[in-house]
A and B are shown apart, each in its own frame.
Chain A
Amino acid sequence: MKIVAYLGLVLLLVPLQMTIARLVNGALHPDLCLVAVCLIGFWGGWGRGFSLGLCLGFVQDLFSAGGLGINLLTKALAGLLSGYAATTLSTLTPAAIFFPTLALSMFVSVMALISASPQLDGRLLLHSAHTAILPRGLMDGALAFILNWIKLKMEPLAPPDMSKHA
């Protein structure tokens, strides 16, 4: 059942990402796929995060102007790392999810920038850091914060399942 839900996520998120990008005319917007991968990693463990990251990254690469591989790699890594980060956290509070998501988003953005920019230098990296990488990381972190807060509100009494982080 969960596999079907994850497939549904893949089929929904990438088209939604493309439509949002069109609506905002290419302006800065959150990476829904990355946020989903991070949250699944936090909630479901590194195995699920990694697998979903592979699928979402692959489909993103199919429609991206870049070559195949960079999203596949970074999204899978993000899922893996968020799963491992969850094992170090005692409780998955919204604040505890915000900062790892911010860090992962910035990591993914830097990797994508290196891949996408033919002439990357320190000046461009610095410029991108405060015009794109950090703002986008904050957006992703804020979205993960809100979604995790909603999840906690919906199931306030659910006991933590530690076995999934094993």
Chain B
Amino acid sequence: MSRPRLLSMIGAGGRRVILGSLGLLVLIIVLLPRHTQEWLELIGRPVAQIVAVPVRVLASLDRGIRESWNHYIALQGVYEQNLALRQEVERLRGEISRLREQIIVSEQLADLLRYQANAPLETTAARIIGRDPTNWYRAIILDKGETHGLKRDMGVIAPAGVVGRVVKTTPTTATVLLLTDPNMAVTAMIQRTRDAGIVQGTTDGGVRMKYLPPLSSIHVDDLVVTSGLTDDFPRGLPIGRIVHVEHPQAALFQSADLLPAVDFSKLEGVLVITTLDSGTDTDFSVSSPSSSSLPSESTP
């Protein structure tokens, strides 16, 4: 039976019923609790795998054009020198943070240093191939997914510090909610005073540390690191530096605005923490030599 004949048999009324039913189905899907929507994600997996192909093609096209521009049209030497210096600065910053953390830990928790050599942290390097398609979440899309061992709630880091957390995975891609999104929160502490709090993104794209003790002697330029209380990040990863402290008179807690350690606008690749033994209480810093290196532009 030909398609026009089939459509004419259904008729305008029939088509309205079909579309009405579809609309009702959409409403039911939206009203369902999130955990019952998992079957929808199952349906979407093959679709996501197909859509991931043009995403990769576009990402490599974009990368190719930018590489050509940067290497052949713009000043080649200056660009490469600048890139090398930036990488060196990032590495040294991470190194300073790691050393400070080690000094504090050796004074306060000397026995934990025995575990430092065996820091149980495995990472997978991934390249950023896109950003959230909706404009309403600060999120990035990675070129690796479930087939590479990535799972929901895994922590994501860069050499400079914390990037975010995996919130959605498909077989070949993963969506990472950035630290600057209001829906993202990480348990943290001030490195110098050891006061704990929660770091959360703000609606204007900043990062804020909340629930700090009212008598804490925090001040501008203090480094904030992860406290390791949750299973996604080990203790001691840099999050950012305090740029403004707020302590209203009647408030129960202090809060502080942070300058994130990671420059999210220049991120090209990240490390996903795939294995973190939460039973081992060990301080760890991202830039330790044992962690995986970032992927280069040519090798994912």
User: Size class of B's contact patch?
Assistant: 35 or more
**8 shortest interchain CB distances as A-B pairs:** A18-B130, A21-B131, A65-B139, A65-B137, A69-B30, A15-B55, A15-B54, A116-B136
How distant is the Cα of A113 from the Cα of B133 in the complex, in angstroms? 14
Residues of B whose CB lies within 8 Å of any CB of A are: 12, 15, 19, 22-23, 26-27, 29-30, 32, 34, 37, 40-41, 44, 47-48, 50-51, 54-55, 57-59, 62, 128-141, 167-168, 170, 173, 175-177, 181-183, 203, 265
Whether A89 is near chain B, meaning CB under 8 Å from some CB there, is no
Query: Can you list 12 A-B contacts with CB-CB less than 8 angstroms, sorted by A residue number?
Result: A10-B51, A11-B54, A16-B58, A26-B135, A47-B15, A60-B134, A62-B48, A63-B170, A72-B26, A72-B29, A80-B23, A119-B182
With known contacts A63-B48, A65-B139, A72-B29, A112–B134 Cβ distance under 8 A: yes
Task: Mark each residue of chain A from 1 to 36: 1 if its CB lies under 8 Å from any CB of chain B, else 0.
Answer: 000000000111011111101110110110101000
Q: Which residue of B lies closest to A60 (CB)?
A: B133
Which residues from B are CB-within-8-Å of A63?
48, 51, 130, 132-133, 141, 168, 170, 173, 175
When distances are taken between beta carbons in the complex, the residues of chain A under 8 Å from B55 are 14-15, 18-19
A38 to chain B, nearest CB (A): 16
Instruction: With a 10 A CB-CB cut-off, give which of B59, B136, B182 has the most chain A CB atoms.
Output: B136
A interface list, Cβ under 8 A from B: 10-12, 14-19, 21-23, 25-26, 28-29, 31, 33, 46-47, 50, 54, 58-73, 76, 80, 109, 112-113, 115-119, 124, 127-128, 132, 136, 166
Q: In whole Å, how far is A41's beta carbon from the nearest beta carbon of chain B?
A: 12
Contacts across chains A and B counted by CB atoms under 8 Å: 156
CB distance from B143 to the nearest CB of A (A): 12
Closest to B139 in A: A65
The answer on a CB contact under 8 Å between B132 and A21 is yes
B154 to A: closest C-beta gap in Å? 14
CB-CB < 8 A to A113: which residues of B?
Answer: 136
Contact A62 B47 (CB under 8 A): yes
Measured CB to CB, the closest approach of chain A to B55, in angstroms, equals 4
Given contacts A28-B135, A54-B22, A65-B139, 6 further A-B contacts (CB under 8 A): A26-B131, A31-B135, A46-B19, A64-B168, A65-B183, A66-B136
